[in-house]
Amino acid sequence: MSGIVGINKPRQFDLVKRMLNKISHRGKFGRKIFSTTNSTFGIVTTEYQSKELDLCEKEKIVKDDLGDGHLAYAKENGIQLEIFRDQLGVSPLYYGLKDDALCFASEVKGLMEATKNIFEVPPGHKLVNGDLIRYYELVYDSFLTEEPQKIAKQLFDLLKNSVQKRINGNEMGCWLSGGLDSSVLSSLVRMYVDKVYTFSAGIKDAPDLQYARVMAEYLNSEHHEVVVSIEDMIKVLPEIIYHLESFDALLVRSSITNYLVAKEASNYVEQIFSGEGGDELFAGYQYLKELPISKLNDELIDITNRLHNTALQRVDRCASAFGTVAHVAFLDPGVVNFVLKIPPEYKIYNGIEKWILRLAMKDHLPEKIFNRTKAKFWEGAGVAELLADYADKKITDYDFNKERVLKNGWVLNSKEELMYYRIFREHFGELENLDWMGRSKLN
């Protein structure tokens, strides 16, 4: 992903340079800082996004543009800045004020060079003339009436198109957990390239590693595994939390193997496909089966709206830490709009989650993958209890009770979360404003 920063004040080269240096990992191919009549901008890009460098100064705009509706940008609009974030928040963007001048950055660490009073641009919003305006809302108004086989065929075609338009070469990479979502995208990618690289991570004998091998063999991909220990995970935690900009326990836990597999993948590919959004769109979580079917779509919209500062933040930060681009093809606007119209009874059917997605892909997955049920990201990778047990041994009950209430009133849920918060505090200080940071809904 590209990294963008700036301030609505001209000739602020030293400040913008410091801001850009903090997020330089987001783009190692190209870099530019420039001033307009009213603003100063900075951008770093990957090779995939390097075309942005040629146009940004002329058009007075900087963009983190993944293509096909996934982007964030800031541009000069008269004497002020206009800043924009895509419909679901695939590309991150934050803003604040420095001496009454609007400033922005792709990551909080960059913005903190200018201000500690930080806000997140919500998905589907833009900031124009100081006003935050919603331009998109995730809603459904009617359901498809066709037979499920016809809906599944339409879904398959939309997913194929979403994948195809994000491929621009004969080689691509896929983060492959061996779950349904990453396997679906890997199978579709394989249709359009000569060579697929697949990457999985987990502790020794973790389910994800085993299922990913099955899928990699089916794809005939060049497969790479990262086998980790608790010592490996603890060692890398400070790096992960620095890049992730969060201490949310479930988010950090799920990011550990993602971060390590992203590091491995960056040695081979610049672009990667990731399966985020599949669980939220197609009802992949176990607890959803317990809801009345009449409540399912409302819940799916709610958890999809939360993706921007949970799972999508994990994907963005893990990829960007190593200067790579992650594509989330399930969240293509055309796919999302179609899936919202699929009747909920086709998403959970006879107790089978993601039933319509399975139907769409039945001829393109090995049976073991086709029938695999949902495992939480950290459970599939085998890290479910290791980190919690480690934190319980390192943090006393007395310290947990003394430190669990933060300055802003948030209450930490576990010793594991306190362990992550302590690392977060070392990087970013004890902040009173954490409104920009999301917290997971699902346990």
| Closest C-alpha to 32, from 24, 66, 77 | 24
287-327: per-residue pLDDT in tens?
A: 999 999 999 999 999 999 999 999 999 999 999 999 999 99
| Closest C-alpha to 129, from 199, 195, 187, 79 | 79
Residue 103 is predicted with a pLDDT of 97
| Closest C-alpha to 183, from 153, 228, 149, 213 | 213
User: pTM of this prediction?
Assistant: 0.94
What residues contact residue 223 under an 8 Å CB cut-off, 6+ apart? Answer: 176, 197, 198, 199, 200, 212, 213, 216, 217
- DSSP helix/strand/coil, 323: coil
Task: Please report, for residues 228, 368, 387, the alpha-carbon distance to residue 393 in angstroms, rounded to integers and kept in the order given.
Answer: 20, 38, 10
Count CB atoms within 10 A of the CB of residue 414: 16
Task: Please report, for residues 36, 161, 176, 243, 353, the alpha-carbon distance to residue 170 in angstroms, rounded to integers and kept in the order given.
Answer: 39, 16, 19, 30, 33
373-428: per-residue pLDDT in tens?
A: 765 544 545 576 889 899 999 999 999 999 999 998 999 999 999 999 999 999 99
The full set of domain ranges for the chain reads: 3-134, 148-387
The rounded distance, in Å, linking the Cα atoms of 376 and 384 is 9
What residues contact residue 321 under an 8 Å CB cut-off, 6+ apart? Answer: 25, 239, 243, 259, 262, 263
Length of the chain: 443
Q: 281 near 320, Cβ under 8 Å? A: no
CATH class of domain segment(s) 3-134: alpha beta
Residue 67 is predicted with a pLDDT of 81
Longest dimension (CA), the chain: 62
Q: Which CATH number fits domain 148-387: 3.40.50.460, 3.30.930.10, 3.40.50.620, 3.20.20.150?
A: 3.40.50.620
Residue 443 is predicted with a pLDDT of 44
Residue 442 is predicted with a pLDDT of 53
Low-confidence ranges of the chain (pLDDT < 50): 377-378, 380, 443
Task: Please report, for residues 12, 53, 70, 114, the alpha-carbon distance to residue 24 in angstroms, rounded to integers and kept in the order given.
Answer: 18, 15, 20, 16
Single-letter amino acid code for the residue at 267: N
Give strand pairing partners of 85: 72
Q: 300 near 284, Cβ under 8 Å? A: no
Residue 375 is predicted with a pLDDT of 54
The rounded distance, in Å, linking the Cα atoms of 69 and 301 is 19
Q: How is residue 290 written in tokens?
A: 């317990």
Residue 311 is predicted with a pLDDT of 93
Q: In the Cβ-directed half-sphere of 139, how many Cα atoms lie within 13 Å?
A: 6
Residue 384 is predicted with a pLDDT of 65
